[in-house]
Amino acid sequence: MTSTKIALVDLKRQYQGIAQELEAEALAVLRSCNYVSGERVSSFMKDFVQIHEALFGIGLSTGTDALHLALWALDIHHGDEVIVPVNTYIATAEGVSLSGASVVFVDHDEYYNMDVQDLARKITSRTKAVIAVHLYGQPAQLDAIRQVCDAHSLVLIEDCAQAHLARYQGHSVGSVGRVGCFSFYPGKNLGACGEAGAVITNDNALHERMRRIHQHGVTDNKYHHWEPGHNYRMEELQAALLHVKLRRLQDWTTKRQANAHLYNELLHNVTGVQCPREREGTECVYHLYVIKCQQREALAAHLNAKGIATGLHYPTPLHRQPAYASLGHKTGDFPMAERCASQILSLPMFPELTPEEISFICEEIKNFCMGRAS
pLDDT of residue 374: 62
Q: Which residues pair with 102 in a beta bridge?
A: 81
Share of the chain above pLDDT 90, in %: 95
**Looking at residue 371, what is its pLDDT?**
87
Spell out the alpha helix ranges (H) of the chain. 11-32, 39-51, 63-73, 90-99, 116-122, 142-151, 204-213, 236-246, 249-267, 296-305, 335-341, 355-369
Beta bridge partners of 200: 57, 180
Domains of the chain: 12-246 (3.40.640.10), 249-369 (3.90.1150.10)
Q: Does 11 score more than 70 pLDDT?
A: yes
The per-residue DSSP string of 30-93 comes to HHHT--BSSHHHHHHHHHHHHHTT-SEEEEES-HHHHHHHHHHHTT--TT-EEEEESSS-HHHH
User: Shortest CA distance to 260 belongs to which of 139, 369, 374, 355?
Assistant: 355
> Quick one: average pLDDT of 131-137?
98
C-alpha 189 chain-centroid distance: 9
**Which one-letter amino acid corresponds to residue 97?**
S
Instruction: Tell me the pLDDT band of 174, cut-offs 50, 70 and 90.
Output: very high
Separation between Cα atoms, residue 129 and residue 93, nearest integer Å: 12
pLDDT of 282? 97
pLDDT value at position 63? 98
- Percent over 70 (pLDDT), the chain: 98
Radius of gyration (Cα) for the chain, nearest Å? Answer: 21
- Higher-pLDDT residue of 114 and 37 is 114
What is the rounded distance in angstroms from the CA atom of residue 123 to the CA atom of residue 364?
A: 45
Summarised one tens digit per residue, pLDDT across range 262-313 is 999 999 999 999 999 999 999 999 999 999 999 999 999 999 999 999 999 9
- The one-letter code for the residue type at 1 is M
Instruction: Report the b/e string of 205-233 with b at 16+ CB within 10 A.
Output: ebbebbbbbbbbebeeeeeeeeeebeebb
Read off the pLDDT band of 223 (50, 70, 90): confident
Q: Which residue, 336, 356, 340, is CA-closest to 348?
A: 356
Average pLDDT value for residue range 344-371 = 97
pLDDT band at 131 (very low <50, low <70, confident <90, very high): very high
* CA atoms in the 13 A half-sphere facing the CB of 250: 5
The pLDDT assigned to 37 comes to 84
Which among 17, 57, 54, 39 is positioned nearest to 240, based on CA atoms? 39
For 15-31, letters b (16+ CB in 10 Å) and e give: eeeeeeebeebeeebee
Burial (CB count within 10 angstroms: exposed 0-12, middle 13-18, buried 19+), residue 271:
exposed
Q: How many CA atoms lie within 13 A of 200 on its CB side?
A: 27
Mean pLDDT of the chain: 96
What's the rounded mean pLDDT across residues 115-131?
98
